[in-house]
Amino acid sequence: QVTVVESGGGLVQAGGSLRLSCVASGRTHSSYSIAWFRQAPGKGRELVAIISWVGGSTYYADSAKGRFTISRDNAKNTVFLQMNSLKPEDTAVYYCASGSGWSITDFSSWGQGTQVTVSS
């Protein structure tokens, strides 16, 4: 089983930036990709971005395109989510998850989440 731990959340003003980190441990060889999701108060969980460990293929939700960048450091089993030009609507708990594929249903190992709050 793969264990993931998120960090890097916090309070930032609109227009600011944050970088989230997701460190994977355990049976990391079984992890094909890492995804970032977020869940705002009263809303469902939303996919933000995905990256594959091999090759670094990426996918971004429309809400993340042009503002967020997902990247990885394979040597450190770490995935980053650089978030720029943050908006109040980006406020949410951000989760990373390890998956065996590229489909949303492939993600089964979830972290505890890190809170991102963007003030207006």
Return the structure tokens found at 4: 């993931």
Cα separation, 117 vs 105, in Å, equals: 27
Q: pLDDT band at 75, cuts 50/70/90? A: very high
pLDDT for res 2: 92
Looking at residue 92, what DSSP letter applies?
E
- Assess whether pLDDT exceeds 90 at residue 31: no
- Assess whether pLDDT exceeds 90 at residue 30: no
Cα separation, 71 vs 91, in Å, equals: 21
pLDDT for res 104: 84
